[in-house]
Amino acid sequence: MNAKMAWALVAATLMVSCTEDAEEEQGVCTEGPRVLALGSKWTESGGSSSLDLVGCGKVQAYEPSRGMPAHSDLALDLAGGNTYLIDRQGGAVTGFLGSDLSKPFLDVNVGGDANPYAVAKLADHLWVARYGSTHLLGIPFSGAKADSIDLSSYADTSTRIPRMMGVEVWNGKLVVALQRLDKSWSAVDSSVVLVVDPATKKVETRIALPFRNPEGVDLRGNLLALACLGGYGEKPDAGLVVVDLSKGVVSTAVSGVELGGDPSRVAFVSDDRVWAALLVVKHPNYKAVPVDLASKKVGSPFAEAGSVGDLAFDGGSLWVANHDDASPRVYRVDPTSGAKTGEYTARLAPGRLLVLP
Amino acid sequence: MFRIVPSMLLIVPALALAQVDSVDRPMDSVAAPREAHLEQRVVRAVSERSGVGSIGREELAGAPSLAAVLDHQSGVQVRRAGGLGSYTTASLHASPAQQVEVWMDGVPLGGSTGSKVDLGPFPLEGLERVEIRQAGSTGAFGSPRIDLVSRSGWTQRGASLRLASYGERGVSGWWGDDEGRATVSAWWESARNDYPFPWDNGTRYNTADDRQVRLSNNDYEGRGAALSWRPTESVDVSARVDDSRRGISAPGWVDPAARLEGTSAQGFLRWVGDWDWKPSVEGSGKWDASVWRDPNRTAGWNVDRSADETAWDLAARVAVARDRGDWADVEVAGKTRWETSDRQSTGNAAVAVTPSGNRRTLGLQGIWNGRSASSRWGAQVGASTDWIVDSRDWAESLGDVSRIEPLETPWESHRVHGRLWGRPAGSLETWISASVRQRAPDFREWMGDNGFTLQTPDLSSELSISREIGLKILVDGWTGEAAGWFQTYRDPIEAYQKGASPLVAHRNAAGYEAFGIDARLGWEKDPFRAAAQGTLQDAAVSDGNPSLDGKRPVRFPAWKASVDASAGPWRGWRAGTGLALEGATYASELNRATDLRDGKVDMGAWIRWSRGAVSATVQADNLFDEHAEDWEDLPQPGRRYSVRLDFEFSKPTKTREER
């Protein structure tokens, strides 16, 4: 795969200079906070996906010039100031310069079954967390041969696949979150966070999480928050975790019982306060709630969104994606009061949000 | 090339209309003599039941698959997931595929209110005839319907062998007694199906990594046998056994170990009394057992590692009918049906769920069928009601299935139908029909099945309204038929993919309206024959989401057309060609320009040599090596070559019809 990938990378790198015919970013909102909402709708033929730009008080279709994949299994990420559209089903990662979706500069397949989840830029590499692979993949922007770091020894022994679901850059290192599900897709062992030095490919720190099956991560300074779904169904292995990377320890742990649901997404709004999306099985729905990390006190949920798919914080406002076909909306919320300050109807139910630079 | 076709579609019905008064020939004479079966591929056997398309043995023998046969028909939309034997569904007049009832030898293959039947694993070698009934032609009792008739060899016996691309092999044989009272047939076919196709590697901008890929684990094997017996004039008995085995794989979803295997056996018995008020009794039974295995890949859902299912479907119908051909003809019928499914599914190693369910149906049907003494015009009005009770011992929450105390849910389904027809001239028939149907969720829709379909217990009834107006003409050497239709679907039950998994569940989807025109035209003048048919159609979704409202459904072409022509026999040689075209479709409900996918072009040609009881055929299909998609990222196989040997020995004593 590496030889083919190297050729692909060469071609992908060349594409940086081949974007003259790409559409210019015309008529697209460029002022104020801008949030990209990845919408999806599942159908028998796989599904539909959309990208909407929420900004300037309106919603605009804002998509790559060659369209969206004809399915819904996608993700969004930001790395090094560039926007990445991640095709989890197809195993492709497409990078766009800045937030201009008319200027692709990287387009590479990281493995048909690799299931890429997230990306992080460190030095001249784009590191890809691949859920279906044993290796963290490093793609050099130079077009050189791809690099990788073997994390299989951190997997559950029944699979040897660590189920890496997130990667972040911290202090010149890579921080990787591993679900460590077993062969039966059950969170039977502890999930972990690894701090990896890409230069030596060594794991410097291994932090076991008190809860299992992280589904959402957010990095703020030295703090890494993880929303752990556990084994689904309000079981005691779900909860919210904050890791202090500078000390290599879990600084805060709030169980799903204390939260009133299993957290699936999390977003910092300050050093001591997060918003989390909670799966409440009894209803069932996903609601967004504020959580004070020091007191572990859970505030009132944001009532209007009953199927919260994602949360994002732009430095001033909290953005809430309501992943509901019948009510496909993105809400702008005051993170302190929880009051709605804006509401936008997306084309398809938004499941991922990305605050653009 | 695509620009030619819309013009042709306009010309075809125009030609038909232009021939209306040329010859006053009784419509009943359209029923094709046996010899005409030989060229049914090019001369559509327009049934005397207007609006019913019949596809005979010759056309079936010349097609690569049942999907390809149906795809050539106007008013039919086929979606298939790959090569021979792969998952295939059909939609009639833009209906949800769930509404299309599929019957085999008088036995329903779907659930009691119609449900999607996988048409993939039905070897053409095991079929004698396929009939397509659109909603406007099914009478009071039916829905859009496809009838499959088992291979039979009344007063004949023979065998056939074929070899084709992608490792395809097939053999079949049939035998009929000299009196035409009994017939037996058996068939077997298999294919590797691991066809190559071009792939962009998932990267839309990076063309350097575009390449050919080859599917794996798509092998298929199908076999079966059928028996028909008519001991007396008033009794028909049939039995059939089918068995299919196939691998399941797709680009982006490669699993070298996923298998779906199924076996079914069915029987049918009918007695019709030969009295003034004709009584009839029908009974049928069907048993299915299937096995789904996916040991190497699961998506976290609790049924996707393995599943075993046993299902029973027993039905009976009692009717009495008056059929004197006047204004007082009526038929009254009562029916009952019992469907069961017992399944054991395993996903997580520690989780094995055993959902069981059954449905009991009791129905009443009544139809008045009047006609003038001259049979120049007539009318039909009918109504049917089904009282249904569903029972299940499971509940679902977030994909998990748990056992509960048996829970019963009552339903009702209703259908009313009206049809007015006239024959102003012997060569011309016109009709107008309408039907309204309230359909309860089908047994298989809420119970799921053993392949990819999960249980969905919280469905609601759907409503369908069909209107059709049509005409059929027969002028010396020409046959023509055209029909306009307008369909309304409210809260249609549709299948959808459950998250990122390969599994499917059902839901009541946004409604839509669809309308279109079907046209068929056939011409014959020995030794030449030609036929053309096509559909112009459009549809618009009614969705509360403004981004989806008014959009065309996914994979819904605005037009399709096919033309077939043949010549011969000349010194034992015959040859023909066919071209099927279909317009572009949207791959997303948003109907963006970037969602447009190319239409289909499928051109084939064949040449046949016959001498005595032996004939040899060489055929090529998909000559342009197109890899059209019916499903997301699932290209079809490319060019296909086949060689076929047929041996047929007839004993022209008394035909079954003559008896």
CB contact under 8 A, A11 and B209: yes
**pLDDT level of residue B10 (50, 70, 90 thresholds):** very low
Please report residues of A whose CB lies closer than 8 A to that of B497: 42-47
The label of the residue with tokens 């992943």 reads A323
**Least confident interval from B323-332, B583-592, B624-633:** B624-633
**pLDDT level of residue B27 (50, 70, 90 thresholds):** very low
State both tokens at B148: 């499959």
CB contact under 8 A, B588 and A46: no
Tell me the nearest-neighbour CA distance from B563 into chain A, angstroms: 29
Please report residues of A whose CB lies closer than 8 A to that of B351: 184
**Least confident interval from A50-59, A265-274, B73-82, B255-264:** B255-264
Higher-pLDDT residue of B228, B651: B228
Q: What is the model's pLDDT at position B349?
A: 55
CB contact under 8 A, A68 and B500: no
State both tokens at B497: 């993919």
State both tokens at A194: 């690894």
**Least confident interval from A342-346, B244-248, B354-358, B393-397:** B393-397
Q: Does B338 have pLDDT greater than 90?
A: yes
Q: Does A167 have pLDDT greater than 90?
A: yes
CB < 8 Å from A in window 540-579 of B? 544-548, 554-555
Q: How many CA atoms lie within 13 A of B251 on its CB side?
A: 23
Q: Which helix (H) or strand (E) holds A279?
A: strand A273-280
By residue range, what is the domain housing residue B357?
4-650
What is the DSSP secondary structure assignment for residue B209, as one 8-state letter?
Answer: T
Quick one: average pLDDT of B34-43? Answer: 31
Q: Does B21 have pLDDT greater than 80?
A: no
What is the DSSP secondary structure assignment for residue A80, as one 8-state letter?
Answer: T
Could you tell me which chain B residue has the CA closest to the CA of A232?
A: B398
d(CA B231, CA B238): 11
Q: What is the model's pLDDT at position B642?
A: 97
CB contact under 8 A, B497 and A45: yes
**Least confident interval from B111-115, B356-360, B410-414:** B111-115
d(CA B292, CA A37): 37
**pLDDT level of residue A18 (50, 70, 90 thresholds):** very low
d(CA B572, CA A294): 92
Q: Does B375 have pLDDT greater than 90?
A: no
Quick one: average pLDDT of B408-426? Answer: 91
Task: Classify residue B656: in a domain, yes or no.
Answer: no
Q: Is B595 on the interface with A (CB under 8 A)?
A: yes
d(CA A351, CA A40): 7
Domain residue spans of chain A: 156-301
**pLDDT level of residue B297 (50, 70, 90 thresholds):** low
d(CA B411, CA B387): 6
The label of the residue with tokens 């879990």 reads A250
Q: Is B349 on the interface with A (CB under 8 A)?
A: yes
d(CA B376, CA B366): 24
Q: How many CA atoms lie within 13 A of B356 on its CB side?
A: 10
Tens of pLDDT, residues A83-137: 999 999 889 999 999 999 999 999 999 987 889 999 999 999 999 999 999 999 9
Task: Classify residue B598: in a domain, yes or no.
Answer: yes
Q: What is the model's pLDDT at position B17?
A: 32
* Phi, psi (deg, nearest 5) at residue B333: -140, 150
Q: Does A267 have pLDDT greater than 50?
A: yes
pLDDT > 90 fraction of chain A, expressed in percent and rounded = 74
User: How many other β-carbons are positioned within 10 Å of the β-carbon of residue A299?
Assistant: 14
Cα A144 to chain centroid distance, Å, stands at 26
Q: What is the model's pLDDT at position B658?
A: 44
Smallest Cα–Cα separation from B39: which of B566, B474, B475?
A: B566
Tell me the nearest-neighbour CA distance from B416 into chain A, angstroms: 30
User: For B208, which of A8, A65, A67 is closest by C-beta distance?
Assistant: A8
Could you tell me which chain B residue has the CA closest to the CA of A50?
A: B590
Q: Which residues contact A10 (CB under 8 A, 6 or more apart)?
A: A143, B208
d(CA B492, CA B441): 10
Q: What is the model's pLDDT at position B414?
A: 94
d(CA A175, CA A244): 12
Give the count of domains, chain B. Answer: 1
Tell me the three-class secondary structure of B602-653, residue by residue: EEEEEEEEEECCEEEEEEEECCCCCCCEEECCEECCCCEEEEEEEEEEECCC
CB contact under 8 A, A49 and B588: yes
Q: What is the model's pLDDT at position B405?
A: 82
pLDDT > 70 fraction of chain B, expressed in percent and rounded = 84
Q: Is B177 on the interface with A (CB under 8 A)?
A: no
The interface predicted TM-score of the complex, written ipTM, equals: 0.88
Tally C-beta pairs within 8 A across A and B. Answer: 151
Task: Classify residue B234: in a domain, yes or no.
Answer: yes
Mutate to test the interface with B, among A18, A44, A156, A282 (most CBs of B within 10 A): A44
Q: Judge: domain A156-301, CATH 3.30.360.10.
A: no
Smallest Cα–Cα separation from B374: which of B436, B333, B336, B326?
A: B326
d(CA B138, CA B392): 32
CB contact under 8 A, A186 and B350: yes
**Least confident interval from B254-263, B321-330, B457-466:** B254-263
- Helix spans in B27-103 (H): 57-61, 66-71
Tens of pLDDT, residues A54-71: 988 889 999 999 999 887
Tens of pLDDT, residues B195-243: 889 888 889 999 999 999 888 888 999 999 999 999 998 999 999 999 9
Q: Does B300 have pLDDT greater than 60?
A: no
Q: What is the model's pLDDT at position A3?
A: 45
Q: Does A6 have pLDDT greater than 90?
A: no
CB contact under 8 A, A8 and B202: no
Q: Does A20 have pLDDT greater than 60?
A: no
Contact of B634 with B251, CB cutoff 8 Å: yes
**pLDDT level of residue A234 (50, 70, 90 thresholds):** low
**pLDDT level of residue A45 (50, 70, 90 thresholds):** low
CB contact under 8 A, B632 and A348: no
Task: Classify residue B655: in a domain, yes or no.
Answer: no
Quick one: average pLDDT of B497-522? Answer: 86
Contact of B572 with B611, CB cutoff 8 Å: yes
pLDDT > 70 fraction of chain A, expressed in percent and rounded = 90
Q: What is the model's pLDDT at position A286?
A: 87
Q: What is the model's pLDDT at position B659?
A: 39
Q: Does B564 have pLDDT greater than 90?
A: yes
Q: Which helix (H) or strand (E) holds A258?
A: helix A256-259
CB contact under 8 A, A87 and B202: yes
Q: What is the model's pLDDT at position B504?
A: 79
* Phi, psi (deg, nearest 5) at residue B587: -90, -5
Quick one: average pLDDT of A235-259? Answer: 94
CATH of the domain at B285: 2.40.170.20
CB contact under 8 A, B348 and A186: yes
Tell me the nearest-neighbour CA distance from B117 into chain A, angstroms: 15
Residue A2 DSSP SS3: helix
Task: Classify residue B658: in a domain, yes or no.
Answer: no
pTM of the predicted model as reported, rounded to 2 decimal places:
0.87
Mutate to test the interface with B, among A48, A58, A66, A234 (most CBs of B within 10 A): A48
The label of the residue with tokens 């298998």 reads B259
Mean pLDDT of chain A: 89
